Amino acid sequence: MTPRERIDAALAFATPDRTPILGGWIACPPYLMELAGATPEDYAADPLAVSLRGYRALGSDGLLGCFVPRHLDEYRCVDQSSYLMADRGMSFEAVQAHIDSLPQPEQVEAEWDFDAAYEPFRRDLLAGQERAGDMVWMPPLWGSAARLDWYGQFGYQNWFLLFGLDEPRARKMLEVSTAHARRLSRLCARAVTDGLYPRAVLLGEDICDQRGPMVSVDFIERYYAPLLRYGLEPLLDAGCRPVWHSDGNVQPLLDMLIDCGVQGFQGFQPECGMTLEKLVERRCRDGEPLVIFGPLAVTTELPRMTPDQVVTRLHECIALCRGRAALLIFTGNTICPDTPLANILAMHEAVRTAA
């Protein structure tokens, strides 16, 4: 099978010739250079090209985007100067004034030109696929369907104050941001219909920490859930399976997410109780199995195991999902330098040697 045929078969709950494996999140330039047979000069000249050669050498079937560190000693997309700190330089009053100035969600939708937005979206997908070659280009669509994670815009302190002190404005922000987010869902749905995107998309947002949701479950179920359900409609109508990125302890939200139309999960943190063994028992709201992008954790598993243990664990996961979930091998988050390259190679070896 070709990589596209392999991924399509898995997402259709058919039986591919082997379990597909996804790439794109190795955050370690020396590993990518070694895999690609490239020099530091090669990487500096075109880090994306070197990264793609590395994933191709591994035998990746698809790419969930391509994390490209800008410098040889960089291994995260954030650092001490860019991390989303509590203070974003806005007063709470400025946040309130900003929300008051926003148009109503109906106006956001009415003023949007779908055809004008789709053309650059389509071109970007085609350009990404051309560079990816025979690997399937399937970048995540963060912030699509619905949005609750405005801490990046307002800062954590203002974000929490908004929910605690000003529910009417929090609800308006949720409704307006969801109107913008649903646009991405519509664009992706059209790309799926046009054959430019596979029938599963990674989306979601970091709204849980190690203990659980950062906003009350009551608020999420009362106000966020109906908007998420609305935002996912275009994807589901196009036959595209939404796969939720689930950092932290998402367990208190699982029933709600599935009821809203989420059909898969990625981002397992076993230390938070999010395990493959639990998820394969769940079903979508239509009764079909879930799609799993996983399950190796980059916290408690991949950096700490031996290569033989990685192979054994993945063989167990492939067997566990057989007939119970659509499994595409991936990791919980970006692979950092604390993971030995031998373990990355073992991930791919496990796929090739699974029974």
* CB 225, CB 180: distance < 8 Å: no
Domain coordinates in residue numbering, the chain: 11-83, 95-291
- Banded pLDDT at 43 (limits 50, 70, 90): very high
Q: Is the pLDDT of residue 82 over 60?
A: no
Q: Is the pLDDT of residue 84 over 70?
A: no
Q: Which of 3-7, 70-74, 203-207 has the highest mean pLDDT?
A: 3-7
> pLDDT tens digit string along 97-127?
999 999 999 999 999 999 999 999 999 999 9
Question: Cβ distance 296 to 270 under 8 Å?
Answer: no
**Burial of 166 from C-beta contacts in 10 A (0-12 / 13-18 / 19+):** middle
The mean predicted confidence, pLDDT, of the chain is 93
| CA 313 to the chain's CA centroid | 22
What are 284-308's pLDDT values in tens digits? Answer: 999 999 999 999 999 999 999 999 9
Residue 160, amino acid: F
Structure tokens at 269: 């943190």
Share of the chain above pLDDT 90, in %: 83
Cα dist. 244→206, 235, 285, 292 in Å?
10, 13, 15, 9
Rounded to the nearest 5°, which phi and psi values hold at 294? 170, -160
pTM for the complete prediction?
A: 0.94
What phi and psi values does residue 165 have, to the nearest 5 degrees?
-115, -20
Most confident of 116-120, 213-217, 336-340: 116-120
pLDDT of residue 274: 87
DSSP state at residue 350 = H
Q: Could you give phi then psi for residue 190, rounded to 5 degrees?
A: -65, -40
pLDDT per position as a tens digit, 305-317: 999 999 999 999 9
Q: Cα–Cα distance between 133 and 62 in angstroms, integer?
A: 10
Residue 69 pLDDT = 79
pLDDT band at 277 (very low <50, low <70, confident <90, very high): very high
163 confidence band (pLDDT: 50, 70, 90):
very high
pLDDT band at residue 95 under the 50/70/90 scheme:
very high
Q: Round to whole Å and give the CA distance between 336 and 25.
A: 9
C-alpha–C-alpha distance, residues 14 and 354, integer Å: 17
pLDDT beyond 80 at 19: yes
* pLDDT(91) > 60: yes
What 3-state DSSP class applies to 140?
coil
pLDDT at 87 over 90: no
Average pLDDT over residues 329-350: 95
pLDDT in tens, 216-231: 999 999 999 999 999 9
What confidence score (pLDDT) does residue 78 get?
A: 55
Under a CB-based contact definition with an 8 Å cutoff, are residues 235 and 185 in contact? yes
